[in-house]
């Protein structure tokens, strides 16, 4: 914590680099997709199928990252540096062990798993090597996630941002050189994407590990390596966090299938609208990270009033920023839609979706940021219940009722999303008020 800095400065010192990091990761995803598309549609399908499996792994590692960040922030705030170091040691051991097992299972069972989720013999030729290499070396995915969480937990969001920037440069440069070949270097196709992805992750793990070892919470490897109480607490926090990410992805599969049933144009318009919207709500995830870290630190320091003030400030800034960006989106979406498609029917649906969504941004801001605040306090179960209720109790039913039965199409889909955001925002805010009042 930085006592001489105002709370606003502390919030944005974490939120801005985290937001930039998220934007960089999204942009490199777009570049990877463009490069795979140059290989062919079969390659696009194969890599996307592999990423469907890898996203499940990522959800688990993100859960460990949330548990790590929450515990380290609280111990750091309480001045228990040795305790924070012990949590870091357990986080690295847990993520390394789990990702190693996942990697072995991926190599052994990757082909039948891909076949189960719809891979054909044609798409397997690209999907299997991508999954075997990137999933087989999941230890680097886990390492990047957990080490970044360790640094952010002590207030250093700039190092993960810089690491992400450099990793993205490495990934993009290798993609450009290796996918289609350059000079004497032959075209490697999907293997070029694999090399670029792995090289970026290896760099990230190495750089972040050096940064962690130079920080105040440098890992001091102590024997016995396993600390049962800390490990149990980490698992207790991480499991619901991972469950929340998995519930979100599982729910998306269900409601995506419902949208496909409405029509191919509607589904395409929905996906394009979602891509555009992702740039609008990224600042909320940056503020959520700031809330989680600073609240965790101040819970550890038992600063109840500051904890409540951090939540108020991050939510206030989030509502303001997302409302302004929502207004910009409302005004500019007719132009932005043409960047993705020239189909007039699809453009009209994208405009309808995002103009409805512009009014949902305040609720979305509260949902994202208060979930982060609760996780910083160590409550990962409430965000899990929020996602389960919102996704399966509101969003999916809303798509069926408003999108299909009422035949409102894309408008019904995005109205359902807005109701989901608002209900979850109210539920999370009320739970936060209760938890913060009961804080010792």
pLDDT value, residue 31:
74
Distance from C-alpha of 409 to C-alpha of 352, rounded to nearest angstrom: 10
Locus of tokens 């062990």: 97
Higher local confidence (pLDDT), 438 or 61: 61
Percent above pLDDT 90 for the chain: 62
- Give mean pLDDT, residues 135-147: 94
Q: Can you tell me the mean pLDDT for 112-117?
A: 84
160-191 pLDDT tens trace:
999 999 999 999 999 989 988 888 888 888 89
pTM here is: 0.89
Rounded Cα distance between 126 and 22, Å, is 27
Q: What pLDDT sits at residue 4?
A: 63
For residue 405, the tally of other CB atoms under 10 A from its CB is 10
Contacts of 166 (CB under 8 A, 6+ apart): 203, 207
Q: Is 41 exposed, middle or buried (0-12, 13-18, 19+ CB in 10 A)?
A: exposed
Angle at 379 between CA 230 and CA 83, to 5 degrees: 25
Percent of the chain topping pLDDT 70: 98
Sequence-ordered alpha helix ranges (H) in 263-339: 264-300, 304-337
Angle at 253 between CA 359 and CA 104, to 5 degrees: 130
User: What pLDDT was estimated at residue 12?
Assistant: 94
- The per-residue pLDDT for range 191-209, each reduced to its tens digit, is 999 999 999 999 999 999 9
pLDDT band at 229 (very low <50, low <70, confident <90, very high): confident
Q: What is the pLDDT of residue 177?
A: 92
> Of the ranges 43-47, 157-161, 371-375, 404-408, which one carries the lowest mean pLDDT score?
43-47
Domain boundary assignment for the chain: 7-226, 250-437
| Residues 236-245: tens digit of each pLDDT | 999 999 999 8
Taking residues 64-85, what's their average pLDDT?
A: 92
Q: What is the pLDDT of residue 440?
A: 56
Higher pLDDT, 123 or 10: 10
260 CB contacts (<8 Å, ≥6 apart)?
A: 267
pLDDT digits (tens, 9 = 90+) for 344-369: 988 999 999 999 999 999 999 999 99
Instruction: Identify the pLDDT of residue 51.
Output: 82
* Mean pLDDT of all residues belonging to the chain: 90
Is a pLDDT exceeding 90 seen at residue 216?
A: no
């Amino acid at each position: 914590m930085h006592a001489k800095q105002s709370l606003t400065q502390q919030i944005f010192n974490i939120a801005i680099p985290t937001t930039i990091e998220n934007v960089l990761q999204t942009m490199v995803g777009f570049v990877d997709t463009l490069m795979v598309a140059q290989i062919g549609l079969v390659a696009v399908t194969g890599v996307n199928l592999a990423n469907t499996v890898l996203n499940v792994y990522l959800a688990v590692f993100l859960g460990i990252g949330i548990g790590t960040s929450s515990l380290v922030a609280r111990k750091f705030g309480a001045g228990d540096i040795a305790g924070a170091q012990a949590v870091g040691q357990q986080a690295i051991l847990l993520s390394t062990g789990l990702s190693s097992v996942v990697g072995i299972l991926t190599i052994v069972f990757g082909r039948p798993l891909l076949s189960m989720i719809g891979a054909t013999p044609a798409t397997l030729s690209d999907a299997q090597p991508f999954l075997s290499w990137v999933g087989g070396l999941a230890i680097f995915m886990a390492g990047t996630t957990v080490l970044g969480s360790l640094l952010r937990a002590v207030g250093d969001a700039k190092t993960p941002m810089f690491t992400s920037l450099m990793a993205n440069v490495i990934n993009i440069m290798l993609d450009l050189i290796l996918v289609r070949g350059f000079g004497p270097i032959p075209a490697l196709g999907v293997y070029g994407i694999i090399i670029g992805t792995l090289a970026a992750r290896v760099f990230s793990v190495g750089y972040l590990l050096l940064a962690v070892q130079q920080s105040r919470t440098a890992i001091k490897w102590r024997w016995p390596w396993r600390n049962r109480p800390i490990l149990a607490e980490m698992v207790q926090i991480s499991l619901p966090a991972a469950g929340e990410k998995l519930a979100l992805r599982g729910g998306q599969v269900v409601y995506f299938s419902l949208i496909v049933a409405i029509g191919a144009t509607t589904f395409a318009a929905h996906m394009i609208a979602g891509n555009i919207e992702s740039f609008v709500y990224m600042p909320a995830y940056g503020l959520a990270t700031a809330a989680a870290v600073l609240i965790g630190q101040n819970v550890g320091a038992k600063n109840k009033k500051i904890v409540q003030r951090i939540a108020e400030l991050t939510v206030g800034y989030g509502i303001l920023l997302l409302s302004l960006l929502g207004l910009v989106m409302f005004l500019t979406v007719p132009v932005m839609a043409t960047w993705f498609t020239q189909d007039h029917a699809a453009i009209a649906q994208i405009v309808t979706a995002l103009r409805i969504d512009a009014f949902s941004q305040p609720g979305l801001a509260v949902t994202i940021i208060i979930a982060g605040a609760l996780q910083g306090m160590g409550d990962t179960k409430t965000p899990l219940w929020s996602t389960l209720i919102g996704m399966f109790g509101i969003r999916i039913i809303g798509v069926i009722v408003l999108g299909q039965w009422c035949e409102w199409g894309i408008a019904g889909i995005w109205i359902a999303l807005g109701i989901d955001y608002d209900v979850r925002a109210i539920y999370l805010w009320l739970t936060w008020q209760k938890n913060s009042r009961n804080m010792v």
